[in-house]
Amino acid sequence: MEVSWQPGMKMDVNAPMCPSRGVLEHVTSRWGVLILIALKERSYRFSELRRHVGGVSEKMLAQTLQTLERDGFVLRDAQPVIPPRVDYSLTELGEEAAAQVAALGRWTERRTEQVLKNREKYDEART
């Protein structure tokens, strides 16, 4: 149980050393979620995506796109033109991931008002 993960072992997010933990953290990361949701609609250029995903810095956008590309979720198409043009889109695997997080995102938007009410109740109950 406390043994580190080995190839062939069953993937289990409850096991501390399982690599699926890391994958899950990439997908559910602060900017990862929003980027996947954005790219699900359509492909974006870098600064276009930056404008779409409110509040993301250039650094974090570049960094997050890189980890998503490395994991095989995002496809990076850099055309050698001037000014540089780079298009980001989802791979098939990325589409699958994005479908999951987009569902979660929509659910969150629908239920946020309820959550806000719950917090108020919780807070006033202990004052």
Please give the residue ranges that form the binding site for DNA (CB under 7 A): 29-31, 45-48, 55-60, 62-64, 66, 76, 78, 82-86
The listed partner (a copy of itself, DNA, none) that binds 62, CB under 5 to 8 Å by sort, is DNA
Amino acid at 126: R
Total residues at the site for a copy of itself (CB under 8 A)?
53
Among 57-65, 79-87, 101-109, the segment contacting a copy of itself (CB under 8 A): 101-109
Partners of 89 in the β-ladder: 75
Q: Are 65 and 43 in contact (CB under 8 A)?
A: no
Nearest residue (CB) to DNA, 8 versus 23: 23
Separation of alpha carbons 107 and 95, rounded Å: 18
The listed partner (a copy of itself, DNA, none) that binds 80, CB under 5 to 8 Å by sort, is none
Omega within 30 of 0 (cis) for the link into 83? yes
Q: Which of 5, 1, 47 is nearest to 22 (CA)?
A: 5
Separation of alpha carbons 16 and 22, rounded Å: 10
Binding positions for a copy of itself, rule: CB under 8 A = 1, 11-16, 18-20, 23-25, 27-30, 33-34, 37-38, 52-55, 69-72, 93, 96-97, 100-101, 103-105, 107-119, 121-123
